[in-house]
């Protein structure tokens, strides 16, 4: 003889999944964090792509109505020699140039990570352009904010800021060195 238990509403509520309320709250918080990204994607990417897809099948000149022309735009496009040349160049660049460049870069990175004789020189040579550009940027910013002849402090002085941060006021009547 089999016995069955009868569940009352209070026992059924207690047997629901533990942490359901907390899980719903965490899901809501997660959606509030990601919702601005979805809204931005929809507004700035998805809607323009759909509009451009529609416009690609019309003959619209930006001033009047957009009459439907179907695939005529695409047939004219593929008959154009300039487009075919640009398409072949893009396919070459995407299919050959980028993968070969990535493989060569990865190979050089793996080679520079090995313990070989003279690898320090090649590491320095590899990072030299990056470091020199940072130094050049630092020098330019230093010159822009120079207390004596920097254009930003000169502009601040023009607008009445007597002693801008970072320097002294040059003497009147003399050109700063």
In this structure, what is the dihedral angle of CA atoms 134, 135, 137, 141, given to the nearest 10 degrees? 140
Domain boundaries, the chain: 22-66
- What tens digit of pLDDT does each residue of 23-61 get? 999 999 999 999 999 999 999 999 999 999 999 999 988
pTM of the model: 0.45
Query: Are 108 and 127 within 8 A, CB to CB?
Result: no
pLDDT, residue 64, reads: 86
């Amino acid at each position: 003889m089999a016995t069955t238990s009868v569940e009352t509403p209070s026992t059924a509520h207690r047997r629901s999944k533990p942490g359901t309320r907390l899980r719903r709250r965490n899901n809501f918080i997660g959606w509030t964090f990601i919702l601005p990204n979805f809204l931005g994607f929809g507004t700035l990417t998805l809607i323009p792509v759909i509009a451009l897809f529609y416009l690609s099948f019309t003959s619209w000149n930006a001033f009047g109505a957009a009459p439907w022309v179907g695939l005529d735009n695409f047939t004219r496009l593929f008959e154009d020699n300039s487009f075919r040349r640009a398409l072949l160049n893009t396919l070459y660049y995407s299919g050959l140039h980028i993968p070969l460049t990535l493989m060569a870069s990865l190979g050089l990175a793996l080679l520079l990570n090995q313990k070989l004789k003279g690898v320090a020189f090649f590491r320095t040579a590899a990072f030299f352009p990056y470091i020199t550009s940072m130094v050049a940027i630092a020098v330019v910013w230093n010159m822009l904010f120079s207390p004596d002849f920097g254009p930003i402090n000169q502009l601040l002085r023009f607008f009445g800021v007597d002693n801008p941060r970072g320097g002294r006021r040059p003497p009147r009547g003399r050109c700063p060195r």
